[in-house]
Amino acid sequence: MRPVDPRLLRLCPPAQRYLTLTVAVGLATAGLVIAQAWLIAIAVSRAQLGGDVGLDELRTLLLLLLVVVLARAGLAGAQETAGHRAGARVTAHLREVVLRRSAMQAASPAGSTGGRAVLVTRGIDALDSYFARFLPQVALAAVVPVVVLVQIALVDWVSGLLILVTLPLIPVFMVLVGMHTREQTARQWRTLSVLAGHFLDVVQGLPTLKVFGRARVQAAEIARVSDQHRSATARVLRVAFLSALVLELAATLSVAVVAVGVGLRLLDGGLDLRTALVVLVLSPEAYLPIRNVGTSFHASAEGMAAADEVFAILESPLADQGSSRDVPDLSNASLVLVDVAVPRPDVQGDRLPRTSLVVLPRELLVVTGRSGAGKSTLLGLLLASLAPDTGTIRVAGIDLAALDPDAWRQEVAWLPQRPLLFAGTVADNVRLGEPDATDDEVAHALHLASADFVTGLPGGLQTVLGESGAGLSAGQRQRIALARVLLRVQRRDSGLVLLDEPTAHLDSATEGRVVSMLVRALAGRTTVVATHRKPLTAVADRVHVLTGEPSPAVGVA
């Protein structure tokens, strides 16, 4: 068990400051605990044994005790506030770091969307209780027992010795148990993550499940998976709690033995009442912080497991990317693909078998081929969101791999096969890549995409769409996505336009309109369209058919 992950401290400055503060609070608390014990012991022993002692004689003691009580309250409040604030800040910081990193790995994000989302929201949030509860306990456990033990030993070395012998048993045992439960806690966390991914999948598939009458069965499946998670957790907890039992037994029995021993030595006259009371009050305080570490351990272990996952993401290597921002003028550049191929992960056959192809400047090239022949993959290569496994792509003689992908994509407009609309207005959706575009420009782009129906919507351009464009038909969504591309083309004077099935979901009348508008809007720009629709191939300058079979090698230039 590592109570404090050094990587966490390195990554988050607020965590470092907070740790320092927590240790200071721990020291102050230890001092106050000892002061309080002395004040109580002196007051009680004087009142019990001093004969006729009243409040007047104890005035100073009582005033001091009140000050100590107030100071302890203030420290407790400050620690609580600081803990939650630090937890919130570290969580926010980690979330941002993970999102940024994921954006850099966009082409091949590891793990399911559901799993990563759980990590970035709930998983990282588990760190909050780590900072607010666990870390202060660790600081107290490191400071208070030592100070208290020294104090006890100074007044009664016998009790001090007893505590000195039993106290180290607790952390030693805790480390042993911690090593044992760590792996299991990690496994439990993975189960939760799988559970979340599974649930999202099932909920998204609910309509399909209902069509086949399988939805109700899934309730039982969720119950089964939850129960699996429960028994896994219960196994971890049984061991974790067993360790807590042993720790508590060690602590409470030691306190009992100290109390009985002190009492018996009082009988012999080997000890005075004041000292005995100090020892009785302080001895539980020696064990309390360490015990509290044990009880908050499993809550924090969840947070640490999530932190490990975060670091796994942050430490995974990034693919090599070019850095040249010197993108050639695309209006006069040929794109030459030589023997490029992209393999399919886990599945036999290639996403794109070996292909060679030249795209001439300002031509409208249509790429066809049966489903799965690699049309979308080819567009991904030209977008530089995918890198070919073999072969090269040259733009005006420059290797595309040497160019900074961000700089390259500035010059390219792309329509994905399944464009996603987000919740927001129609205008905001069209403006995705061009936030500064005016309403007129947006309206013009919509017109070019034959999406004039927007003017008929109740809110016009400002009509608010639901998630994934809910409220519109598939064909309407497609045309809004097309407008998004055309707005970019117009504003940036894009030299290269990549369209993946631009007329999917359209009825033939609309398709005809869209095709003729596209031909006009994209005239003079290098355009690559992946499609199998006749209306588009009919207007192409050239048609390239992907057969799904490797084309003969031409050798790498």
Partner 1 sequence: MSVLRRTAEGSAAPPLRRIVGLVRSRWPGLVVGAGAGLLASAFSVALLATGAWLIARAAERPPIVVLSLAVVAVRACAVGRAVFRYAERLVTHNVTLQVLADLRVAVFCRLERLAPTGLPMFRNGDLLSRLVSDVDAVQDVFLRALLPWVSGVVVALLTAGGVLILLPSAGTVLVAVTLLVAVVVPRLTRRWSRRAEAGALKARGRLSEDVVDTFERLPELVAYGAVGRRLAGLAETERRLLHHLDSAARVRGAGAAAVTFATGAAVWCALVLGVPAVRSGSLSAVLLAVLVLVPLALADVFSPLPLAAGELTRAAGAAARVVEVLDTQDPVVEPDRPARMPVAPYDIVVAGLGARWPAQVGDALRGVDLDLPAGRRVAVVGESGSGKTTLAMVLLRFLDPLAGRITLSGVDTRELDGDAVRKLVGMLAQDAHIFDSTIWENVRLARPAATSSEVRQALGRARLLDWVDSLPNGVDTWVGEHGDRMSGGERQRLALARVLLADFPVVVLDEPTEHLDLTTADALLADLLEATRDRTVLAITHRLRGHEDFDEIVVLHDGVVAERGTHLDLMRADRRYRTAYEQEVELLV
State in angstroms the smallest separation of the CB of 552 from partner 1.
22
With 0-12 / 13-18 / 19 or more C-beta atoms within 10 angstroms meaning exposed / middle / buried, residue 38 is: buried
Cα torsion angle, 240, 241, 246, 249, sign? positive
Binder of partner 1 out of 10, 150, 179, 372 (CB under 8 A): 372
- Which listed residue (316, 390, 508, 516) binds partner 1 by CB under 8 A? 508
Here's the x/- map for partner 1, 253-272, by CB under 8 A: it reads as x-xxx-xx-xxx-xx-x--x
Window of 15-23, 150-158, 276-284, 323-331 that interacts with partner 1 by CB under 8 A: 276-284
Among residues 2, 10, 20, 121, the one that binds partner 1 under rule CB under 8 A: 121
Residues 537, 515: contact at Cβ < 8 Å?
no
* By the rule CB under 8 A, 344 interacts with partner 1: yes
- Tell me whether residue 338 or residue 483 sits nearer to partner 1 (CB atom): 483
CB-neighbour burial class of residue 59 (10 A; exposed 0-12, middle 13-18, buried 19+): exposed
Number of residues that bind partner 1 (CB under 8 A): 171
What's the angle, vertex CA 478, arms to CA 476 and CA 484, rounded to 5? 110
Nearest-CA neighbor of 353 among 138, 113, 96, 549?
Answer: 549
Task: In angstroms, give the least distance from the CB of 5 to partner 1.
Answer: 22
Q: Does 348 bind partner 1 (CB under 8 A)?
A: yes
The verdict on 89 binding partner 1 (CB under 8 A) reads yes
| Residue 351: strand, helix, or coil | strand
Dig out the tokens for 106 from the structure.
Answer: 């966009």
Q: Which residue lies nearer to partner 1 by CB, 92 or 553?
A: 92
SS3 350: strand
Under the criterion CB under 8 A, does residue 286 sit at the interface with partner 1? no
Q: How far apart are CA 198 and CA 178, in angstroms?
A: 30
Comparing CB distances to partner 1, the nearer of 48 and 438 is 48
The nearer residue to partner 1, 245 or 554, going by C-beta atoms, is: 245
Q: Rule CB under 8 A: say whether 97 interacts with partner 1.
A: no
Structure tokens at 324: 């040249």
CB contact at 8 A, 310 and 119: yes
Task: Report the DSSP pairing between strands 350-359 and 398-399.
Answer: unpaired
Please count the residues of the chain.
557
110, 180, 204, 542: residue in contact with partner 1 (rule CB under 8 A):
204
- What single letter denotes the amino acid at residue 29? T
**Shortest separation between residue 556's beta carbon and partner 1, angstroms:** 27
How many Å apart are CA 280 and CA 295, to the nearest integer? 23
250 or 337, CB closer to partner 1?
250
Contact between 120 and partner 1 by CB under 8 A: the answer reads yes
> Which residues within the stretch 11-70 sit at the binding site for partner 1 (CB under 8 A)?
36, 40, 43-45, 47-49, 52-55, 58, 62, 65-66, 68-70
Does 420 contact partner 1 by CB under 8 A? yes
Q: Which of 3, 16, 4, 11 is nearest to 311 (CA)?
A: 11
Could you tell me which residues are beta bridge partners of residue 544?
367
When asked if residue 474 is in the footprint of partner 1 (CB under 8 A), the reply is yes
312 sits near partner 1 (criterion: CB under 8 A): no
CB of 289 to partner 1, least distance (A): 13
Closest separation between CB of residue 555 and partner 1, Å?
A: 28
Single out the residue of 85, 101, 362, 447 in contact with partner 1 (rule: CB under 8 A).
85
Q: How many CA atoms lie within 13 A of 9 on its CB side?
A: 11
**Site for partner 1 (CB under 8 A): which residue of 6, 60, 216, 436?**
216
- Residue 101, classified by CB atoms within 10 Å of its CB into exposed (0-12), middle (13-18) or buried (19+), is middle
Q: Which of 15, 11, 16, 7 is nearest to 94 (CA)?
A: 11
Residue 116 binds partner 1 (CB under 8 A):
yes
Please list every residue from 375 through 394 that binds partner 1, using CB under 8 A.
376, 383, 385
Our finding on whether 117 is near partner 1 (CB under 8 A) is: yes
Eight-state DSSP code of residue 109? -
**Is 165 a binder of partner 1 (CB under 8 A)?**
no
Q: Helix 439-448 crosses helix 508-521 at what angle (to 10 degrees)?
A: 120
Span from 157-165, 322-330, 353-361, 402-410 in contact with partner 1 (CB under 8 A): 402-410
Of the pair 95, 444, the CB lying nearest partner 1 is at 95
Residues 183, 299 contacting (CB under 8 angstroms): no
Of 179, 249, 553, 556, the residue at the interface with partner 1 (CB under 8 A) is: 249
CA neighbours closer than 13 Å in the CB half-sphere of residue 185: 23
Find the part of the chain contacting partner 1 (CB under 8 A) among 143-151, 161-169, 322-330, 338-346: 338-346
Q: Does 113 bind partner 1 (CB under 8 A)?
A: yes
For residue 441, state whether it binds partner 1 (rule: CB under 8 A).
no
The residue within the footprint of partner 1, chosen from 21, 27, 88, 158 (CB under 8 A), is 88
Question: Binding residue for partner 1 (CB under 8 A) from 31, 322, 460, 471?
Answer: 471
Amino acid sitting at position 519 = V
Query: Contact between 472 and partner 1 (CB under 8 A)?
Result: yes
CB burial string 392-429: b at 16+ within 10 A, e below: ebbbeebebbebbbeebbebbbbbbeebebeeebbbbb
Return the residues of window 527-546 that contact partner 1 according to CB under 8 A.
532-535, 538
Return the residue of 7, 17, 447, 505 that touches partner 1, per CB under 8 A. Answer: 505
End-to-end Cα separation, the chain, in angstroms: 55
